[in-house]
Structure 1
């Protein structure tokens, strides 16, 4: 499905994110309202079992993910940040509170912007955070935004861009990013082995749940960044198994709130469809037919960022040692 025009993208965003803010609050954590993978405290499963054991609450895991994104971006106090596809403002709020950053967020969702602005006002951060409903390409064309932002962050927004327009995303980031800036993005990705078939096909997710969506392959993202910008990939974290755990918790909370969901006007068909959606995605991340990556990009030649952007095992997170990861891989 073509996402090249703002009108088409706007329609697709409305089809999912503007269903009802109250609906999403039934299953997202109440503190961050992040509609994206959390990062749990993960340890190797006990002897005789394969995989990982995830510890802690969804709330704790979402705070850990927000800290990870800001750490990967090497955010410094007082910097200017652009949050592309800010959702309900969780990442923007955390950056402003923790670092005193001046944050601009852009979205195509009117409903999300309304609730996010309420949260900013409640936090007393109107002087640091500004949200706007605008297409990222239009935003990037404004002269006053050229090289304005020290950091650009985008958390699971790239899936709405479409394969044919990945280059436009990186072009837009290039326009607004300072010379020594960093882009950090969290992206749901499709394995290379089936990507060409997938992107030319329709499935349950890109027709029913997220109309027009396309989860790019890692190669597609890197290729687009090289062809349309001077940004180069420096670092990857793989958090796909954490997404499976996140989805399982979302599904549990969603079903525990069934009576409230029905009071919002959603019927039996909707309940069954959303249970299928959450289960379908959970299975995809468990089986690694889908993945979730945190990607760090910097401009070519910015050698000062090397200490941040060392190459690591993609499954390495602070709670795991290399020995634990290697043991898990050998047992999988």
Structure 2
């Protein structure tokens, strides 16, 4: 019997299987090798090349990187470093006993790894983002399905019992992920003022954890997703919880939402909106909120200057994990809200180090269940791809290059009174 948790294995030819043999570009490979040697010479890491040559400034306990196939590794970096570095891990050109620890020093110096004079060449060597990955209504559906419709069982293999795929909030004394996720959900619901009778819209259903928790407070919930597999499992979980009369799970784009809501919550969905649509996203929140209502947007952010410098880049994350994605910055969000909406910020809370711990626990769970994931039909290259994604993300938060925020906005009442928080 097929359920929302037992779904077909992926097709035999997938994006991760399409990684070619290392491209050949001797000139660019030579330049990449020189830049790599320059970048690691002062980093607290140990790099060991095949043959025994050692690079890096790290001592015997520093994170270790083994470059198993140096020629292939440097050719991949030379053709496109932002994609080639991750592809080299996928194909086994390099390895590490703890990739997150290794990548953290790189993330701390991300803006200076390439000498500044060469950074001006980015626009000439960076791959451009595919037009097909723009987050039009049709494009957003394709982009979401490429990630979230892999298989519910893959996500269940490493997520906790709440099936929540966003940062947990590790309050003092909290160590287990399920408790941290409930802390995060409750904080968002409290910030949005969700109580019995609240009409709540959730943009980005996940697998239903927030909708279920809100419905248990007595809220009437409409939750939106573009993932058919997420919707199937969310509906199943809502029904098992006995809350089907309180929750509607709709396969719908946020741009197609209508109605009036006392609260709107969106947890880590804005990263999939695309920079060219951020104004539409926040304008839509404004239109959907009743006067006096509140919106909570949980957003992964990056430094503003780095967002501006890399906003047109096409990276390994875009190609393999989140097509069409773009992380915002706090100043970018504040400007858009100020210029395009009538809502205003009343509160914000950062908890990036909680995300680092969330990702550590996800990666540990993924690693423990590698054989189970293999049994679902996902091969070694897929598993290395996801291990790199989780480690790469964890490193970004550990280095404080990335952060995550719960941003709270309020809409003035009909008499123009503003909620001051």
Instruction: Tell me the equivalent position of 2:358.
Output: 246
Instruction: Tell me the equivalent position of 1:8.
Output: 139
What is the rounded CA distance, in whole Å, between the counterparts of 2:187 and 2:149 in structure 1? Answer: 28
Secondary structure at 1:26's aligned position in 2? helix
**TM-score normalised to structure 1 length:** 0.84
What is the rounded CA distance, in whole Å, between the counterparts of 2:271 and 2:141 in structure 1? Answer: 14
Name which of 215, 231, 235 aligns with 1:96. 215
Instruction: Tell me the equivalent position of 1:120.
Output: 238
Paired positions, count: 288
* 1:75 aligns to 2:205 (yes or no): no
* 1:137 aligns to 2:255 (yes or no): yes
Q: Are 2:411 and 2:418, in contact at CA under 8 Å, matched by a contact in 1?
A: no
Secondary structure at 1:305's aligned position in 2? coil
Q: Are 1:73 and 1:184, in contact at CA under 8 Å, matched by a contact in 2?
A: yes
Secondary structure at 1:62's aligned position in 2? helix
Q: What is the CA-CA distance between 1:303 and the residue it aligns to?
A: 4.7
Q: What is the CA-CA distance between 1:200 and the residue it aligns to?
A: 1.2
Instruction: Tell me the equivalent position of 2:203.
Output: 84
* 1:305 aligns to 2:419 (yes or no): yes
Q: Are 1:3 and 1:160, in contact at CA under 8 Å, matched by a contact in 2?
A: no
Q: Are 2:168 and 2:358, in contact at CA under 8 Å, matched by a contact in 1?
A: yes
* 1:22 aligns to 2:153 (yes or no): yes
Secondary structure at 2:325's aligned position in 1? coil
Instruction: Tell me the equivalent position of 1:283.
Output: 395
Q: What is the CA-CA distance between 1:4 and the residue it aligns to?
A: 4.1
Q: Are 2:289 and 2:411, in contact at CA under 8 Å, matched by a contact in 1?
A: no
Q: Which has the higher contact order (CA 8 A, sep 6+)?
A: 1
Instruction: Tell me the equivalent position of 2:289.
Output: 177
Give every structure 1 segment of 4 or more consecutive aligned residues whose post-TM-superposition deviation is greater than 6 Å. Answer: none
Of the two, which has the highest radius of gyration?
A: 2
Name which of 332, 343, 346 aligns with 1:234. 346
Q: What is the CA-CA distance between 1:60 and the residue it aligns to?
A: 0.8
Instruction: Tell me the equivalent position of 1:314.
Output: none
Instruction: Tell me the equivalent position of 1:224.
Output: 336
Greater shift in the superposed pair: 32-41 or 225-234: 225-234
CA deviation profile, 1:69-122 (whole Å, cap 9, x unmatched): 11111222111000001110100000001x110000011111100000000110
Instruction: Tell me the equivalent position of 2:171.
Output: 41
Secondary structure at 1:273's aligned position in 2? helix
What is the rounded CA distance, in whole Å, between the counterparts of 2:304 and 2:346 in structure 1? Answer: 19
- Structure 2 residue ranges without an equivalent (≥5): 1-128
Name which of 288, 294, 312 aligns with 1:200. 312
**TM-score normalised to structure 2 length:** 0.67
Q: What is the CA-CA distance between 1:139 and the residue it aligns to?
A: 1.6
